[in-house]
Amino acid sequence: MTEPLPTDVRATAEQAGLGCHRRSYGATRGKDFIQRLDVFDRGIAIRSEAGVCLAITWPELKMYESATSLYGAVSHFYHFEDYKGHNFPISASWKNSREMAQMLRDAIAGVWVPDALQRIAEGESRVFVHDPAKPAHQLALSREGVVFGTETLPWEHIKYLRLHDGNLIIKRHKKFRPAVYPSGKIPNLYSFMQIAQALHTGAG
């Protein structure tokens, strides 16, 4: 999208302090809930089909990714969540949606990865999934290892971490069955993988 930035989008971004505009993306169907997404230096501004604009900064933004395959055709889906837990889906019909996803992955990682590594080095955990009602679904990273459900998998026991067929695979030494977690349930998946790989390499 190359047209001038709409007044409401510009005002929303300025009020949130998002900085300079970098790129615009838009829906190709009028019925999509999110009609427009603009990327700025410090976050995104989204506009709904109702004309409501919202700004989300990189530290506040959670991005989820999933893919489906039908007769060999793969469709990619994305949705975003703000710090209040509001969800904003992006349909597979968006033009240049994969380019948009890569741009957002890089921007999010530029903020999340160094912050998480610093906090973990200071003894904190970086929690990615937490639901008090479902402790088995918890997922976090710490200096000790991967907090996976109700147990911690020590880094020295982990052979590798990989993404495969829509899942995070954690292969452990001397364990036949890997630990498996749905990758579509992990916010900012690529930041998670960068942090985990850095911690795993550092523990090796």
pLDDT the model gives residue 98? 87
CATH code of residue 174? 2.30.29.30
Q: Output the pTM of the full model.
A: 0.91
Alpha-carbon span 34 to 52, nearest angstrom: 10
Positions of the chain with pLDDT lower than 70, given as ranges? 1-3, 30, 69-74, 204
Among 34, 182, 186, residue whose Cα is nearest residue 100: 34
Same domain, 134 and 39: no
DSSP strand pairing (167-172 vs 179-182)? antiparallel
Domain end residue (candidates: 115, 138, 157): 115
Domain end residue (candidates: 115, 137, 152): 115
Domain membership of residue 2 (yes or no) is no
Same domain, 18 and 110: yes
Q: Which domain, by its residues, includes 89?
A: 7-115
Domain count, the chain: 2
* Residue 71 burial (CB count, 10 A): 4
Same domain, 153 and 102: no
